[in-house]
Amino acid sequence: MSGTEPGAALITGASSGIGAAFARRLASQGYNLVLVARREKRLRTLSEEMQGQFNVEAQVFPADLSHPLDLERLEKRTAEIANLEMLINNAGFGAPGKFMEMQVEKSIEMIQVHVIATVRLCRAALPAMIARGRGWIINVSSIAAFMASPRNATYCATKAYLNLFSQGLQDELTGTGVRVQALCPGLTHTEFHERPGYENYKTKIPEVLWMKAEDVVEKSLESLNRDQVICIPGFKNRLFVAVMRNRLGARLTRMVTARFQKL
Ligand SMILES: NC(=O)c1ccc[n+]([C@@H]2O[C@H](COP(=O)([O-])OP(=O)(O)OC[C@H]3O[C@@H](n4cnc5c(N)ncnc54)[C@H](OP(=O)(O)O)[C@@H]3O)[C@@H](O)[C@H]2O)c1
Protein backbone atom coordinates (compact mmCIF):
# COMPACT_ATOMS: atom_id res chain seq x y z
CA MET A 1 0.00 0.00 0.00
CA SER A 2 1.28 3.47 -0.82
CA GLY A 3 1.62 6.47 1.44
CA THR A 4 -1.27 8.61 0.10
CA GLU A 5 -4.47 9.19 2.09
CA PRO A 6 -6.46 5.94 2.38
CA GLY A 7 -9.92 5.78 0.81
CA ALA A 8 -12.64 3.28 1.64
CA ALA A 9 -12.48 -0.48 2.19
CA LEU A 10 -15.45 -2.78 1.68
CA ILE A 11 -15.18 -6.03 3.62
CA THR A 12 -17.59 -8.94 3.29
CA GLY A 13 -17.88 -11.33 6.21
CA ALA A 14 -16.88 -8.54 8.60
CA SER A 15 -18.99 -9.76 11.52
CA SER A 16 -16.32 -12.15 12.82
CA GLY A 17 -12.94 -13.82 12.31
CA ILE A 18 -10.64 -12.73 9.50
CA GLY A 19 -13.09 -10.12 8.16
CA ALA A 20 -13.39 -8.39 11.54
CA ALA A 21 -9.58 -8.49 11.89
CA PHE A 22 -9.23 -6.79 8.47
CA ALA A 23 -11.74 -4.14 9.59
CA ARG A 24 -9.80 -3.38 12.79
CA ARG A 25 -6.44 -3.22 11.02
CA LEU A 26 -7.64 -1.06 8.13
CA ALA A 27 -9.54 1.32 10.44
CA SER A 28 -6.32 1.74 12.46
CA GLN A 29 -4.67 2.85 9.19
CA GLY A 30 -7.39 5.46 8.55
CA TYR A 31 -9.60 3.60 6.06
CA ASN A 32 -13.32 4.33 6.08
CA LEU A 33 -15.20 1.04 6.10
CA VAL A 34 -18.24 -0.61 4.58
CA LEU A 35 -18.96 -3.69 6.66
CA VAL A 36 -21.01 -6.51 5.12
CA ALA A 37 -22.47 -9.68 6.67
CA ARG A 38 -25.84 -11.09 7.78
CA ARG A 39 -25.53 -10.41 11.54
CA GLU A 40 -26.38 -6.73 11.64
CA LYS A 41 -25.99 -6.35 15.41
CA ARG A 42 -22.41 -7.62 15.26
CA LEU A 43 -21.64 -5.21 12.42
CA ARG A 44 -23.13 -2.28 14.35
CA THR A 45 -21.04 -3.07 17.44
CA LEU A 46 -17.88 -3.27 15.32
CA SER A 47 -18.79 -0.08 13.48
CA GLU A 48 -19.26 1.86 16.74
CA GLU A 49 -15.98 0.47 18.05
CA MET A 50 -14.09 1.54 14.89
CA GLN A 51 -15.66 5.02 14.79
CA GLY A 52 -14.93 5.58 18.48
CA GLN A 53 -11.41 4.18 18.46
CA PHE A 54 -10.07 5.40 15.13
CA ASN A 55 -12.40 8.26 14.14
CA VAL A 56 -13.21 6.69 10.75
CA GLU A 57 -16.59 6.22 9.05
CA ALA A 58 -17.84 2.65 9.29
CA GLN A 59 -21.05 1.95 7.40
CA VAL A 60 -23.02 -1.21 8.04
CA PHE A 61 -24.48 -3.08 5.09
CA PRO A 62 -26.45 -6.16 6.22
CA ALA A 63 -26.71 -8.67 3.36
CA ASP A 64 -26.94 -12.39 2.73
CA LEU A 65 -24.58 -12.94 -0.18
CA SER A 66 -26.28 -16.19 -1.11
CA HIS A 67 -29.43 -14.18 -1.97
CA PRO A 68 -29.34 -12.66 -5.46
CA LEU A 69 -31.34 -9.57 -4.45
CA ASP A 70 -29.04 -8.77 -1.52
CA LEU A 71 -26.05 -9.25 -3.79
CA GLU A 72 -27.54 -6.97 -6.41
CA ARG A 73 -28.06 -4.25 -3.76
CA LEU A 74 -24.46 -4.64 -2.66
CA GLU A 75 -23.14 -4.52 -6.23
CA LYS A 76 -24.93 -1.20 -6.73
CA ARG A 77 -23.54 0.17 -3.47
CA THR A 78 -20.04 -1.02 -4.36
CA ALA A 79 -20.12 0.67 -7.76
CA GLU A 80 -21.19 3.95 -6.10
CA ILE A 81 -18.20 4.19 -3.72
CA ALA A 82 -16.06 6.61 -5.71
CA ASN A 83 -12.98 6.31 -3.48
CA LEU A 84 -13.17 2.54 -2.98
CA GLU A 85 -9.57 1.53 -2.55
CA MET A 86 -9.86 -1.93 -1.13
CA LEU A 87 -12.38 -4.71 -1.75
CA ILE A 88 -12.03 -7.73 0.51
CA ASN A 89 -14.13 -10.69 -0.60
CA ASN A 90 -13.88 -12.65 2.62
CA ALA A 91 -17.36 -14.01 3.46
CA GLY A 92 -17.38 -17.79 3.50
CA PHE A 93 -18.18 -20.93 5.39
CA GLY A 94 -17.42 -24.64 5.44
CA ALA A 95 -19.95 -27.47 5.35
CA PRO A 96 -18.05 -30.73 5.70
CA GLY A 97 -19.80 -33.84 4.45
CA LYS A 98 -19.98 -36.14 1.46
CA PHE A 99 -21.39 -34.41 -1.60
CA MET A 100 -24.00 -37.13 -2.13
CA GLU A 101 -25.16 -36.95 1.50
CA MET A 102 -25.68 -33.18 1.49
CA GLN A 103 -28.59 -31.17 0.15
CA VAL A 104 -27.45 -29.78 -3.19
CA GLU A 105 -28.74 -26.36 -2.03
CA LYS A 106 -25.88 -26.19 0.51
CA SER A 107 -23.32 -26.61 -2.27
CA ILE A 108 -25.08 -23.99 -4.39
CA GLU A 109 -25.16 -21.58 -1.43
CA MET A 110 -21.41 -22.03 -1.02
CA ILE A 111 -20.78 -21.40 -4.72
CA GLN A 112 -22.95 -18.25 -4.46
CA VAL A 113 -21.10 -16.85 -1.45
CA HIS A 114 -17.55 -17.83 -2.40
CA VAL A 115 -17.62 -17.55 -6.19
CA ILE A 116 -20.63 -15.62 -7.55
CA ALA A 117 -20.47 -12.85 -4.92
CA THR A 118 -16.71 -12.45 -5.46
CA VAL A 119 -17.02 -12.28 -9.25
CA ARG A 120 -19.92 -9.81 -9.15
CA LEU A 121 -18.29 -7.54 -6.54
CA CYS A 122 -14.97 -7.48 -8.43
CA ARG A 123 -16.86 -6.50 -11.58
CA ALA A 124 -18.72 -3.76 -9.68
CA ALA A 125 -15.61 -2.36 -7.97
CA LEU A 126 -13.12 -2.37 -10.80
CA PRO A 127 -14.35 0.48 -13.07
CA ALA A 128 -13.79 3.13 -10.34
CA MET A 129 -10.51 1.55 -9.23
CA ILE A 130 -9.18 1.49 -12.80
CA ALA A 131 -10.34 5.08 -13.35
CA ARG A 132 -8.43 6.17 -10.22
CA GLY A 133 -5.40 4.08 -11.23
CA ARG A 134 -5.31 2.59 -7.75
CA GLY A 135 -6.91 -0.20 -5.74
CA TRP A 136 -6.52 -3.59 -4.12
CA ILE A 137 -8.76 -6.62 -4.23
CA ILE A 138 -8.20 -9.41 -1.73
CA ASN A 139 -10.11 -12.60 -2.43
CA VAL A 140 -9.97 -14.80 0.66
CA SER A 141 -9.28 -18.30 -0.53
CA SER A 142 -7.66 -21.12 1.50
CA ILE A 143 -4.85 -23.66 1.40
CA ALA A 144 -7.77 -26.01 0.62
CA ALA A 145 -7.53 -24.55 -2.90
CA PHE A 146 -4.48 -26.76 -3.43
CA MET A 147 -6.14 -30.04 -2.49
CA ALA A 148 -9.19 -32.09 -3.47
CA SER A 149 -10.23 -33.07 0.02
CA PRO A 150 -12.87 -35.75 0.65
CA ARG A 151 -16.00 -34.41 2.40
CA ASN A 152 -15.06 -30.90 1.22
CA ALA A 153 -15.36 -31.25 -2.56
CA THR A 154 -17.28 -28.01 -3.19
CA TYR A 155 -15.31 -26.00 -0.61
CA CYS A 156 -11.95 -26.91 -2.19
CA ALA A 157 -13.27 -26.32 -5.70
CA THR A 158 -14.64 -22.86 -4.90
CA LYS A 159 -11.34 -21.84 -3.33
CA ALA A 160 -9.36 -23.20 -6.33
CA TYR A 161 -11.63 -21.05 -8.52
CA LEU A 162 -10.73 -17.97 -6.47
CA ASN A 163 -7.00 -18.61 -6.94
CA LEU A 164 -7.20 -19.03 -10.71
CA PHE A 165 -9.68 -16.18 -11.09
CA SER A 166 -7.41 -13.85 -9.10
CA GLN A 167 -4.33 -14.82 -11.12
CA GLY A 168 -6.08 -14.30 -14.47
CA LEU A 169 -7.60 -11.02 -13.32
CA GLN A 170 -4.23 -9.70 -12.11
CA ASP A 171 -2.72 -10.48 -15.53
CA GLU A 172 -5.49 -8.49 -17.21
CA LEU A 173 -5.00 -5.59 -14.78
CA THR A 174 -1.26 -5.21 -15.31
CA GLY A 175 -0.43 -1.52 -15.73
CA THR A 176 -3.74 -0.25 -14.29
CA GLY A 177 -2.47 0.34 -10.75
CA VAL A 178 -4.96 -2.20 -9.39
CA ARG A 179 -3.60 -5.30 -7.67
CA VAL A 180 -5.31 -8.58 -6.82
CA GLN A 181 -4.41 -11.05 -4.09
CA ALA A 182 -5.77 -14.53 -3.40
CA LEU A 183 -5.18 -14.92 0.34
CA CYS A 184 -4.84 -18.60 1.27
CA PRO A 185 -4.93 -19.04 5.04
CA GLY A 186 -4.50 -22.39 6.75
CA LEU A 187 -6.11 -23.25 10.07
CA THR A 188 -7.04 -19.96 11.73
CA HIS A 189 -8.79 -19.35 15.05
CA THR A 190 -12.17 -17.82 14.10
CA GLU A 191 -15.80 -18.94 14.27
CA PHE A 192 -15.30 -21.01 11.10
CA HIS A 193 -14.81 -24.27 13.01
CA GLU A 194 -17.81 -23.74 15.27
CA ARG A 195 -20.13 -25.09 12.57
CA PRO A 196 -21.34 -28.71 12.68
CA GLY A 197 -18.83 -31.21 11.30
CA TYR A 198 -15.75 -29.46 12.71
CA GLU A 199 -16.00 -30.80 16.29
CA ASN A 200 -12.64 -32.63 15.98
CA TYR A 201 -10.63 -29.73 14.73
CA LYS A 202 -10.20 -27.72 17.91
CA THR A 203 -9.62 -30.73 20.14
CA LYS A 204 -7.44 -32.91 17.89
CA ILE A 205 -5.32 -30.53 15.82
CA PRO A 206 -2.26 -29.23 17.72
CA GLU A 207 -2.20 -25.53 18.54
CA VAL A 208 1.11 -25.11 16.72
CA LEU A 209 -0.70 -25.56 13.37
CA TRP A 210 -3.15 -22.69 13.96
CA MET A 211 -2.74 -18.98 13.27
CA LYS A 212 -4.47 -15.94 14.73
CA ALA A 213 -6.76 -13.98 12.38
CA GLU A 214 -4.73 -10.82 13.15
CA ASP A 215 -1.52 -12.50 11.95
CA VAL A 216 -3.19 -13.71 8.74
CA VAL A 217 -4.32 -10.13 8.05
CA GLU A 218 -0.86 -8.72 8.79
CA LYS A 219 0.79 -11.13 6.32
CA SER A 220 -1.83 -10.35 3.68
CA LEU A 221 -1.36 -6.59 3.91
CA GLU A 222 2.44 -6.92 4.03
CA SER A 223 2.34 -8.90 0.76
CA LEU A 224 0.10 -6.53 -1.16
CA ASN A 225 2.83 -4.71 -3.03
CA ARG A 226 4.82 -7.83 -3.80
CA ASP A 227 4.68 -9.16 -7.30
CA GLN A 228 2.68 -12.24 -6.31
CA VAL A 229 -1.02 -12.97 -6.44
CA ILE A 230 -1.12 -16.02 -4.19
CA CYS A 231 -0.41 -15.17 -0.55
CA ILE A 232 -0.03 -18.12 1.83
CA PRO A 233 0.47 -16.74 5.35
CA GLY A 234 2.77 -18.70 7.66
CA PHE A 235 5.72 -20.99 7.00
CA LYS A 236 3.85 -24.17 7.98
CA ASN A 237 1.05 -23.42 5.57
CA ARG A 238 3.56 -22.80 2.76
CA LEU A 239 5.24 -26.11 3.59
CA PHE A 240 1.87 -27.89 3.53
CA VAL A 241 1.11 -26.46 0.09
CA ALA A 242 4.56 -27.46 -1.20
CA VAL A 243 3.86 -31.03 -0.04
CA MET A 244 0.41 -30.95 -1.64
CA ARG A 245 1.92 -29.94 -4.98
CA ASN A 246 3.94 -33.15 -5.01
CA ARG A 247 1.88 -36.12 -6.26
CA LEU A 248 2.95 -38.52 -3.48
CA GLY A 249 2.54 -35.81 -0.85
CA ALA A 250 -0.95 -35.03 -2.13
CA ARG A 251 -1.95 -38.69 -1.92
CA LEU A 252 -0.61 -39.04 1.60
CA THR A 253 -2.32 -35.84 2.74
CA ARG A 254 -5.65 -37.01 1.29
CA MET A 255 -5.33 -40.32 3.16
CA VAL A 256 -4.47 -38.58 6.45
CA THR A 257 -7.31 -36.08 5.98
CA ALA A 258 -9.82 -38.84 5.24
CA ARG A 259 -8.75 -40.80 8.36
CA PHE A 260 -8.84 -37.69 10.51
CA GLN A 261 -12.36 -36.86 9.39
CA LYS A 262 -13.57 -40.30 10.47
CA LEU A 263 -12.21 -39.93 14.03
N1 LIG B 1 -10.69 -20.11 9.76
C2 LIG B 1 -9.98 -20.87 8.95
O3 LIG B 1 -9.31 -21.85 9.39
C4 LIG B 1 -9.93 -20.56 7.47
C5 LIG B 1 -8.94 -21.19 6.70
C6 LIG B 1 -8.88 -20.90 5.35
C7 LIG B 1 -9.77 -20.00 4.77
N8 LIG B 1 -10.72 -19.41 5.53
C9 LIG B 1 -11.66 -18.48 4.86
O10 LIG B 1 -11.66 -17.25 5.56
C11 LIG B 1 -12.89 -16.56 5.28
C12 LIG B 1 -13.40 -15.98 6.59
O13 LIG B 1 -13.75 -17.03 7.46
P14 LIG B 1 -13.40 -16.99 9.02
O15 LIG B 1 -12.40 -18.04 9.26
O16 LIG B 1 -13.13 -15.62 9.47
O17 LIG B 1 -14.76 -17.57 9.61
P18 LIG B 1 -15.94 -16.87 10.44
O19 LIG B 1 -15.43 -16.30 11.70
O20 LIG B 1 -17.01 -17.91 10.50
O21 LIG B 1 -16.42 -15.68 9.47
C22 LIG B 1 -17.14 -15.90 8.30
C23 LIG B 1 -17.78 -14.59 7.88
O24 LIG B 1 -18.50 -14.82 6.65
C25 LIG B 1 -19.81 -14.28 6.78
N26 LIG B 1 -20.76 -15.01 5.96
C27 LIG B 1 -20.95 -16.35 5.88
N28 LIG B 1 -21.97 -16.62 5.05
C29 LIG B 1 -22.44 -15.43 4.59
C30 LIG B 1 -23.50 -15.06 3.74
N31 LIG B 1 -24.33 -15.94 3.18
N32 LIG B 1 -23.69 -13.74 3.48
C33 LIG B 1 -22.90 -12.82 4.06
N34 LIG B 1 -21.89 -13.11 4.88
C35 LIG B 1 -21.66 -14.41 5.16
C36 LIG B 1 -20.13 -14.42 8.29
O37 LIG B 1 -21.06 -13.43 8.69
P38 LIG B 1 -22.60 -13.67 9.08
O39 LIG B 1 -22.73 -15.05 9.66
O40 LIG B 1 -22.89 -12.57 10.05
O41 LIG B 1 -23.32 -13.51 7.79
C42 LIG B 1 -18.77 -14.09 8.91
O43 LIG B 1 -18.62 -12.69 9.04
C44 LIG B 1 -13.82 -17.59 4.63
O45 LIG B 1 -13.89 -17.32 3.25
C46 LIG B 1 -13.11 -18.93 4.87
O47 LIG B 1 -13.39 -19.85 3.85
C48 LIG B 1 -10.83 -19.67 6.88
- 148-172 pLDDT tens trace: 888 899 999 999 999 999 999 999 9
The rounded Å distance from CA 251 to ligand 1 centre is 28
The band of 261, judged by pLDDT with boundaries at 50, 70 and 90, is: low
Measure 224 CA to ligand 1 centroid, in angstroms. 21
Residues 6+ apart with CB under 8 A from 142: 155, 156, 159, 184, 185, 186
Mean pLDDT of the chain: 94
Instruction: Choose the weakest-confidence range: 44-53, 91-100, 138-147, 197-206.
Output: 197-206
CB under 6 Å to ligand 1: residues?
Answer: 12-19, 37-39, 42, 63-66, 90-93, 113, 140, 142, 185, 187-188, 190-192
Cβ atoms within 10 Å, residue 69: 9
d(CA 150, CA 44): 38
Q: Given CATH 3.10.129.10, say whether it is the number of domain 8-234.
A: no
Domain boundaries, the chain: 8-234
pTM of the model: 0.95
Mutate to test the pocket of ligand 1, among 188, 212, 236 (most ligand atoms within 8 A of CB): 188
pLDDT of residue 260: 66
Q: What is the dihedral of CA 235, 16, 165, 252, to 10 degrees?
A: 40
- List of residues 6+ apart from 132 with CB closer than 8 A: 83, 85, 177
Task: Dihedral sign for Cα 46, 48, 52, 57, please.
Answer: positive
Could you give the residue numbers annotated as active site? Answer: 155
Contacts of 13 (CB under 8 A, 6+ apart): 19, 36, 37, 90, 91, 92, 140
